């Protein structure tokens, strides 16, 4: 009896799920393969690894002048962080440009990127921004809209924000900030 039930269940599995597997893999009923339907086919697309960000860098309300800012980026398909360097001006102003990459990923792959922004003061590293981003669109790490200029004071308490498609940990503040969690 157990053997019969086991065989019936296996047959039911193949009858119910096998057509879905064939469609997902792009097989047609005439024996051909549809390239457009194949979920495993890689598609080349431009991904926003990190959106641009600009603002002012302070320590206790005083501008941090001519400070080196290090931005570390990592994204799907890259094992090590890629480093970029920027500097504040005489007013503590900084500008970090958008970073995009053309990636070839299948439709079932998940895009993920990490951004870490740090400044070194007197030999001590201070993280001012960290985020994990799960969508490739511009400003998705900010909830979908530009935040304008940020004000980052390394003396601020670090806050964590869970947004729709990202997690942000930062000492920076901006207009219309979400509630932190």
3-state secondary structure 97-161: CCEEEEEEEECCCCCCEEEEEEEEECCEEEEEEEEEECCCCCCHHHCCCCCCEEEEECCCCCEEE
What pLDDT is stored for residue 29 in this prediction?
54
CA–CA dist 143, 135 (Å, integer): 10
Q: What is the pLDDT of residues 38-96, one digit of tens each?
A: 567 888 999 999 999 999 999 999 999 999 999 999 999 898 999 999 999 999 999 99
User: Do 163 and 181 contact (CB within 8 A), yes or no?
Assistant: no
What fold is seen in the domain 43-173? Immunoglobulin-like (2.60.40)
Beta strands at 159-163 and 149-153: parallel, antiparallel or unpaired: unpaired
| pTM score | 0.76
What pLDDT sits at residue 54?
A: 96
Tens of pLDDT along 5-29?
Answer: 444 445 454 444 545 554 555 555 5
Give pLDDT tens digits for 139-179. Answer: 988 888 888 899 999 999 999 988 878 889 999 998 877 76
Domain boundaries, the chain: 2-37, 43-173
Condensed to tens digits (0 to 9), the pLDDT of residues 112-127 reads 999 999 999 999 999 9
The string of DSSP letters for 57-85 reads EEETTEE-TT-EEEEEEEETT--SPEEEE
- pLDDT band per the 50, 70, 90 thresholds, residue 180: low
Kindly state the tokens that stand for 154.
């390394």
* SS3 call for 181: coil
């Amino acid at each position: 009896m157990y053997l019969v039930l086991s065989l019936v269940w296996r047959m039911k599995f193949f009858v119910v799920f096998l057509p879905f597997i064939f469609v997902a893999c792009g097989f047609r009923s005439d024996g051909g393969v549809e390239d457009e339907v194949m979920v495993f086919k890689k598609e080349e697309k431009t991904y926003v690894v990190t959106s641009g960000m600009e603002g002012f860098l302070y320590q206790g309300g005083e501008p941090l002048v001519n400070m080196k800012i290090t931005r570390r980026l990592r994204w799907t398909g890259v094992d090590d962080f890629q480093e970029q360097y920027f500097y504040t001006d005489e007013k503590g102003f900084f500008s970090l440009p958008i970073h995009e990459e053309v990636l070839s990923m299948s439709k079932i792959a998940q895009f993920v990127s990490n951004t870490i922004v740090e400044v070194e003061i007197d030999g001590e590293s201070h993280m001012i921004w960290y985020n994990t981003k799960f969508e490739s669109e511009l400003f998705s790490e900010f909830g979908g809209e530009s935040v304008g200029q940020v004000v980052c004071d390394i003396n601020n308490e670090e806050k964590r924000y869970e947004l729709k498609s990202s997690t942000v940990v930062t000492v920076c503040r901006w207009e219309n900030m979400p509630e932190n969690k």
